[in-house]
């Protein structure tokens, strides 16, 4: 029973090696970015979006455009100039450059959509987390939700705008007045699903503090849910602004916005179609970009997609 | 289960009235009451006392305040009316003081005569609104001093077509319950909801009638009247109401044997409700016809090209502002010679209907497709599907026979909601195409500051949606008996 021992050599016992976990290194945010930037469409639309946001922030300061000013109103040769090399988007009925106007309009439309989304998301997520956790609060909030969810949202926004008057802040208030409730409901359902999963029960049994459970076990799952709701909310708020202003229940004359421009220039739809279609195209491009970028980010921020 | 339905109904009704009350209070308190005259053409010709008294009378009528002139104060509260009316007496001063103490604000017309008004607080506004909200017709309703011998009874008679009807003498309406050929075939005039009258557009017409009555020109129809005379007349005999004897004229007596001569007129174009309903139902049908097969197909070809194209379409529709989408489709449609506005060809021409219906249908396909696909894919991972595959069933059989039946349940749940909601119309599409329906009425009445109309529409829209959700839930338990709405399943 002699085996050739010379094929084996003794190694020194390494205490550290037994501590090494043979799992790949995982970082949540690194994986999110890696996943997000693997989508070429999303990168392209993100660049488009960033360029549009930057232009709408910077350009109004350069142009100094205000919808109430009309410096060229007495100079008919500047009216209705179609798009050209000097005037990229042409001029409108009082000789104002549409290129100047559209960035102010984009800025205000984005301001309304982003602020309303921020308000309804912040309130919605905070309320939704508690709502999902506390059974007593669930009983009360469900009844509130059933009342509010039954009211047609558009009706509510229109009536609120009517009552509060026209203006950017009134519109932000009207839009976010009840929309946070649907975000909260959305979050509540997600929290309830994740809350009682085995790994959370195990965490609690092992003595992990509750705040750590919330922030390390539950929040990463919620990020993708929140991103999905953001990607849905911003375009829908842009759409509501455009529509409300178009039917005359939205912003007043002194505030430029995409909806305001579509309403103002719809009279020239056949005579100078560029005046009408450029704002329409802008509203569509911005909405689609935000939606696609947001959805891609939502997919990327879902930890389940990180497993290869 | 019965208890559950009852509590759901009660909760729904409470929700409806909470919303209605909040809207009423907001409309009456937050909008300055001077604003309601912005679109009133008759006030622009008035000035001075005439204007003041017109404004206060209108506010009184709309329920903002209680307006009372000095003479009315005297007749209502003074013991010595003569001394009071003559003014400058102690009696007159006492009366004014009495009203002032009751919260009235006393002011003077430019001719020196006094008037007072009492502004209602929000609770009183709600109280006044709900006190006349539900109107029940009964045989003692009519009080006509010129007609003391009016009989007060219900009886079974027959209408102009010889169809039996429950009729009434002494009620507001002659026909209490009657039958005719239009939906819902059995009609009643016993209970009605009173939302006040429309102002300043469609002046003086009940808001419910603005929505429910026909539009356009009066439609003449050969009909026989109770006197036996046959005339070409636009009157709707089923809608006849009591007319005080003092206002009856010769035209009325040639047609009617009794005082029920105040009839609604028949119009040649459908009402706002039925316009919205027509558009809604057809487009809904088309949307389901396109979206469900498309969703099923996408689920079957998951991850393949057809699925990807479908997802792009769904994303495009959910992201693009609906207004931009409507204009885009409209522009394409105009290339085929379709009208850009509904009134261009009007109700009689099929071309008026094509574009709005296509747009309405396309707008609702995206979410339907998305959910159908989602439910199908969720179901396709379940054990019974794996078992069916193991048995050797073809993919077509598995999808159409097994998965579809389970996946369709939540879709079916949505159908009554969608059908009922078509009554309220599509605000966006109807506004863009200028379709005279319910949806367009909301922004229109807000632009005209027509508060009673806004209240009516709020009630209808909210009521319909509350009702539709309830019906949807109940229908779901019928389709799938496994689903229990109550926790214990009682």
Chain B residue with the nearest C-alpha to that of A231:
B319
* Strand locations in chain A (E): none
The H or E element that residue B68 is part of is strand B65-69
Is A150 in Cβ contact with B466 (below 8 Å)?
Answer: yes
Cβ–Cβ contact B466 with A under 8 A: yes
Q: At CB < 8 Å, which residues of chain A contact B?
A: 143, 146-147, 150-152, 154-155, 158-160, 162-164, 232, 235, 238-239, 242-243, 246-249, 259, 262, 276, 280-281, 283-284, 287-288, 290-292, 295
Cis bond leading into B409, ω under 30°?
Answer: no
- The tens-digit pLDDT sequence of chain A (308 residues) is 556 667 888 888 887 777 777 777 778 888 888 888 888 888 999 999 999 999 999 988 888 778 777 777 777 777 777 777 777 777 777 777 888 888 988 999 999 999 999 999 999 988 888 888 777 888 888 888 877 877 778 888 888 888 888 888 999 999 998 899 989 988 888 888 887 788 888 988 999 887 788 778 887 778 888 888 888 889 999 988 888 888 888 888 888 888 888 888 887 877 788 888 888 888 889 988 998 898 888 888 887 777 65
Chain A environment of B443 (Cβ under 8 Å) = 158, 247-249
- The 10s digit of each residue's pLDDT in B226-265 is 888 888 888 888 888 888 888 888 888 888 888 888 888 8
Can you name the residues that pair with B114 across neighbouring β-strands?
B108
Chain A residue with the nearest C-alpha to that of B326:
A280
- The 10s digit of each residue's pLDDT in B185-227 is 888 888 888 888 888 887 778 888 888 888 888 888 888 888 8
> Do A237 and A175 form a contact (C-beta atoms < 8 A)?
yes
How big is the A-B interface in CB pairs under 8 Å? 108
Nearest by CB to residue A280, choosing from B26, B327, B469, is B327
What's the pTM? 0.83
- What pLDDT, on the 0 to 100 scale, is given for residue B21? 92
What lies within 8 Å, CB to CB, of B151 at 6+ separation is B169, B170
Phi, psi for residue B231 in degrees, rounded to 5: -135, 160
| CA-wise closest residue to B242 among B146, B130, B132 | B146
Is A242 in Cβ contact with B324 (below 8 Å)?
Answer: yes
Radius of gyration of the CA atoms of chain A, in A: 27
CA B486/CA B4 separation, integer angstroms: 7
Is A146 in Cβ contact with B319 (below 8 Å)?
Answer: no
Confidence band (pLDDT; 50, 70, 90) for B147? Answer: confident
The alpha carbon of residue A36 is apart from the nearest alpha carbon of chain B, in Å, by 18
Is B30 in Cβ contact with A163 (below 8 Å)?
Answer: yes
CA B84/CA B96 separation, integer angstroms: 10
Residue B449 falls in which region: left (phi positive, over 0), alpha (psi -120 to 50) or beta: left
The alpha carbon of residue B370 is apart from the nearest alpha carbon of chain A, in Å, by 14
Among B14, B16, B319, which would you mutate to test the A interface (most chain A Cβ atoms within 10 Å of its Cβ)? B319
Is B446 in Cβ contact with A158 (below 8 Å)?
Answer: yes
Segments making up each domain of chain B, as ranges: 32-131, 136-193+220-265, 272-439
Chain B residue with the nearest C-alpha to that of A281:
B324
Topology annotation, domain B272-439: MetI-like fold (1.10.3720)
What lies within 8 Å, CB to CB, of B366 at 6+ separation is B313, B314, B317, B318
CA B206 remoteness from chain centre: 11
- The 10s digit of each residue's pLDDT in B396-423 is 888 888 888 888 888 877 887 788 778 7
């Amino acid at each position: 029973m002699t085996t050739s021992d010379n094929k084996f050599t003794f190694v020194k016992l390494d205490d550290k090696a037994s501590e090494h976990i043979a799992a790949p290194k995982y970082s949540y945010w690194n994986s999110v970015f890696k996943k997000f930037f693997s989508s070429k469409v999303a990168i392209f639309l993100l660049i488009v979006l960033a360029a549009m946001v930057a232009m709408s922030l910077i350009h109004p300061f350069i142009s100094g455009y205000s919808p109430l000013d009309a410096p060229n109103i007495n100079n008919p040769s500047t009216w209705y100039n179609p798009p050209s090399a000097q005037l990229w988007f042409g001029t409108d009925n009082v000789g104002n450059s549409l290129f100047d106007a559209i960035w102010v309009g984009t800025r205000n439309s984005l301001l309304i959509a982003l602020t309303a989304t921020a308000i309804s998301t912040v309130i919605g997520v905070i309320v939704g987390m508690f709502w999902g956790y506390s059974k007593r609060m669930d009983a009360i909030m469900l009844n509130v939700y059933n009342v509010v969810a039954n009211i047609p949202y558009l009706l509510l926004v229109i009536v609120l705008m009517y009552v509060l008057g026209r203006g950017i802040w009134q519109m932000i208030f009207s839009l976010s007045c009840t929309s946070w409730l649907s975000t909260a409901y959305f979050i509540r359902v997600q929290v309830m699903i994740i809350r009682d999963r085995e790994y959370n029960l195990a965490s609690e049994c092992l003595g992990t503090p509750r705040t750590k459970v919330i922030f390390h076990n539950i929040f990463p799952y919620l990020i993708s849910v929140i991103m999905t709701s953001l990607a849905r909310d911003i375009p829908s708020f842009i759409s509501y602004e455009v529509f409300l202003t178009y039917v005359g229940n939205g912003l007043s004359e002194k505030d430029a916005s995409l909806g305001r421009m579509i309403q103002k220039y719809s009279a020239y739809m056949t005579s100078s179609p560029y005046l009408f279609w450029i704002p329409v195209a802008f509203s569509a491009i911005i909405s689609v970009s935000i939606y696609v970028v947001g959805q891609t980010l939502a997919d990327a921020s879902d930890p389940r997609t990180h497993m290869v | 289960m019965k208890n559950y339905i009852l509590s759901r109904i009660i909760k729904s009704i409470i929700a409806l009235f909470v919303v209605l009350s909040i809207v009423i209070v907001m409309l009456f308190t937050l909008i300055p009451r001077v604003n309601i005259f912005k679109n009133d053409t008759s006030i622009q010709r008035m000035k001075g006392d005439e204007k003041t008294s017109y404004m206060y009378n209108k506010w009184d009528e709309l329920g903002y305040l209680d307006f009372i002139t000095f003479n009315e104060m005297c007749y209502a509260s003074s013991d010595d009316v003569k001394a009071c009316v003559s003014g400058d007496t102690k009696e007159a001063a006492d009366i004014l003081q009495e009203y002032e103490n009751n919260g009235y604000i006393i002011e003077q017309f430019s001719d020196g005569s006094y008037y007072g008004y009492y502004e209602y607080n929000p609770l009183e506004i709600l109280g006044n609104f709900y006190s006349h909200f539900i109107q029940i017709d009964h045989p003692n309703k009519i009080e006509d001093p010129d007609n003391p011998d009016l009989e007060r009874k219900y009886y079974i008679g027959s209408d102009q077509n010889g169809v039996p009807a429950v009729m009434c003498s002494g009620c507001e309406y002659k026909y209490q319950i009657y039958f005719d050929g239009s939906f819902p075939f059995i009609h009643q005039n016993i209970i009605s909801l009173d939302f006040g009258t429309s102002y300043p557009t469609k002046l003086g017409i009940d808001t419910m009638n603005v929505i429910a009555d026909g539009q356009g020109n009066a439609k003449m129809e050969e009909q026989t009247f109770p006197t036996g005379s046959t005339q070409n007349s636009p009157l709707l005999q089923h809608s006849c109401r009591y007319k005080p004897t003092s206002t009856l004229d010769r035209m009325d007596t040639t047609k009617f044997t009794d005082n029920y001569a105040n009839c609604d007129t028949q119009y040649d174009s459908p009402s706002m409700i039925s316009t919205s309903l027509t558009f809604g139902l057809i487009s809904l049908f088309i949307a389901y016809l396109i979206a469900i097969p498309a969703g099923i197909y996408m689920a079957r070809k998951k991850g393949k090209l057809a699925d990807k194209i479908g997802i792009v379409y769904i994303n495009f529709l959910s992201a693009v502002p609906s207004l931009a989408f409507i204009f885009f489709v409209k522009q394409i449609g105009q290339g085929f010679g379709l009208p850009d506005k509904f009134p261009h060809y009007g109700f009689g021409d099929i071309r008026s209907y094509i574009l709005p219906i296509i747009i309405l249908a396309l707008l609702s396909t995206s979410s339907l497709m998305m959910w159908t696909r989602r439910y199908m894919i969720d179901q396709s991972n379940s054990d019974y599907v794996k078992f069916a595959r193991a048995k050797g069933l073809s993919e077509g059989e598995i999808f159409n026979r097994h998965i579809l039946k389970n996946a369709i349940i939540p879709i079916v749940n949505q159908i009554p909601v969608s059908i009922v909601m078509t009554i309220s119309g599509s605000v966006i599409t109807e506004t863009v195409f200028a379709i005279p329906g319910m949806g367009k009425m909301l922004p229109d009445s807000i632009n005209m500051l027509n508060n009673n109309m806004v209240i009516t529409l709020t009630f209808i829209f909210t009521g319909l949606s509350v009702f539709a959700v309830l019906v949807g839930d109940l229908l779901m338990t019928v389709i799938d008996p496994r689903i229990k709405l109550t926790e214990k399943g009682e």
